Structure formats: structure tokens, C-alpha cells
Structure 1
Amino acid sequence: MESYRERLWPAPWIALVAALAIPASLLTFAPVSILAGAVVGVILAGGVIAAAVVSAPLIVVGEGMLRAGTARIPLAVIAGTSVARREEARAARGPQLDARAHLVLRPDIDPVLRIDLADPDDPTPYWVVSTRRPEELAAAIEAGRTS
């Protein structure tokens, strides 16, 4: 049974950015055909939006496992979690980041949850996961670890 589930959908402004492909294509194809430019622009914008939606990672806590994107780890090897927002989150994603850490990040989601690991055989010291509900994710991980 899942105690936590979150899909990291892209922010709505991604659609606005993707829509910029339409006027760019119109300008590019204007000497040839305005209709061709509009069609190519709509196809490009739709493709960007579809790629953003399809690639949205899923975070699930359940059945003794944490799944974030395509990676999974048993809850038993999690040593602890810590929530970071704003400047702390920026530092966790950048200057303080260990190159061996596993990352599941979305640039448009500010809060991150750092998940420390206690497995001596795993070279990955911790995970950094973007989440819109970091406290709920941390609570679900803790509840899964203690049950």
C-alpha cells in the first residue's frame, strides 16, 4: 500500500515557453509558407509540452520502498531526512552538493528533501528530491521506516 504519491508535473509556464515555438516557426517559414510555419510551430510546441508531461517523475513511498523517478531504495537504509526551502534548497542543489548524490530535481519546484542513506555498501551518500510537499514525504518515509 502506498503512503505517499506525487507526480512532479511541469509548471504551467512551461506551456507558455513552449508556445514561443509558434512565432519562431512563423518567422522562419514566412518566406516559404505561413501555413507551414504555423503547423511546424504547433507541432514543436505540442512536442515540448508532451515531453515535459511524459518525463514528469513520480515519487512513491510504499511497500517498504522509496521510488523517485526510475530509482528505488529500501526504506530500511534511510538514515534521516531534512527539508530545504529557498536559499537552503538552492545550496543543497548547488554549492553544498556531493557529486555522488542521487538527484531527482525539477528546476521549477523550490523545496527539496535531502534523504540521507545509511548503507555502507552504497557509494551514494544521500538523495536530493524535489517535492511540492516535503514535510508529507518526510513523514511518509519516517512512518515506513518505523513500521
Structure 2
Amino acid sequence: MLELLPQLNDRNLPWVDTIHPIVVHFVIAMALIAFVFDVIGRLAGKPELYEVSFWNLLFATAAIFVAIIFGQVEAGLANPYGESRDILNLHSTIGWALAGILSVLTAWRYVIRSKDPRRLPLAFLGAGSVLSVLVVVQVLLGSELVWIYGLHTVKVVEAMREGLV
């Protein structure tokens, strides 16, 4: 049965490179730009930017689930070591929380948009700022996993396979 599974490459992955970071960068960009457009729309009195923000939120919500699926698979193949285990667990937990928060905010935004697309309550902007802070924290944790602990990098995978890590 195991022979049916693909062989892992030098990054300890069944595909060429990590897919999670590729997808998650779309989520990061769309979630943050949605908040930026909301703030600019509110401050500049340009409610048409709320429409741009809504669509960014909607696509960020769909994309985060794709990012989580690949993230969970790649995390399972990462062989975290030392403190990277705790960071990876926190990163995974916050990722799932962000999926829930994005889903709730998108649903809330849909209701707001349905009632009056030219108005945006300050409470929603507050929620958007909390979302933005969580996204930044998540980016820092993910960066630490790659740039400090080297998960899925060739050198670290080689060291693990040789029993050095």
C-alpha cells in the first residue's frame, strides 16, 4: 500500500516545492488590502471602495481554506524539531482561528452590504483591525518557521535524514 504514495523529494514533499506559502500570500494580501480599502473608503468618503473590500474578503475566505489544507499536509511532513514544534502548533491554531474569523467577517460584511452598501459601521473597522493584527502575527510565525528553523529547506531536510537534527 505504501508504494502507492509518491516519493518525498529533497524538501520532504511529494510535490516540487511548498504550496502553502504560495496560496497563503494571496490570503495575506487580500485580507490586509480589504482593511486598507475600508479605512480609505471611510476616511476619504469613497464608499465604492467598500465593494473592492468585500470581494477581497470573500476571496481571502475561500483561499484560506486551500492554504490550511496544504499547510496541514506540509506541516505533517515538516518534521519540526525543538522549539519549532510549538511555533508550528501555534501557527496552525491561529490559521484555523483566522479561517473562522474571516468567515464571520465576510458573512457580517455580506449582511452590511445587503442592507446599505454605502455605509460601514466603525465596529466592522475595529474587527478588521483585529484581523489585520492576527494576520501580521501569523506572517511572523510562518516566517520564523522558514527563515529561522528552515522547515522544508533542503539543508534542514538533509540534516534530519542524517540524524543531525
Question: Could you state the TM-score of these two structures normalised by the residue count of structure 2?
Answer: 0.27
Higher relative contact order (CA 8 A, sep 6+): 2
Question: Could you state the TM-score of these two structures normalised by the residue count of structure 1?
Answer: 0.29
- Larger helix proportion, structure 1 or 2? 2
